[in-house]
Amino acid sequence: MSTTRNMKLITGVLEAILAIPVLGAIIILSNGWMPLVIMLVLHIITLMLAVQVQGPLAGSIVGIIASCLGWIPFVGWMLHAAAAIVLLLEYFSRRLQRR
């Protein structure tokens, strides 16, 4: 399994956790918004890896936007959910193409 695919899976699962309404809010607020900074860094790394292998970029771009706007209550929830869906779709679609 490639590093890019691993990062898409990791960031997709973490975004899905942050998209859980009450749990995601508790995680973000109790840690002083640091999870958003960590996710921003992870999405930038994933984007750079995807550019190197000419893979899909949409999930990482949506994740970067979600990390930057995640502090806005309902907008953040929708963006985290969208990022999780796109990242996991990219992960699984690439997996199905290689079979």
Tell me: pLDDT of 95 over 80. no
Residue 99 has a pLDDT of 44
Question: Per residue in 59-82, is it b (16+ CB within 10 Å) or e — as a string?
Answer: bbebbbbbbeebeeeeebbebbbb
With cut-offs at 50, 70 and 90, classify the pLDDT of residue 2: confident
Round the average pLDDT of the chain to a whole number and report it: 92
With cut-offs at 50, 70 and 90, classify the pLDDT of residue 97: low
Question: pLDDT of 31-56, one tens digit each?
Answer: 999 999 999 999 999 999 999 999 99
Tell me: pLDDT of 64 over 80. yes
Closest by CA to 72, choosing from 24, 3, 38, 1, is 24
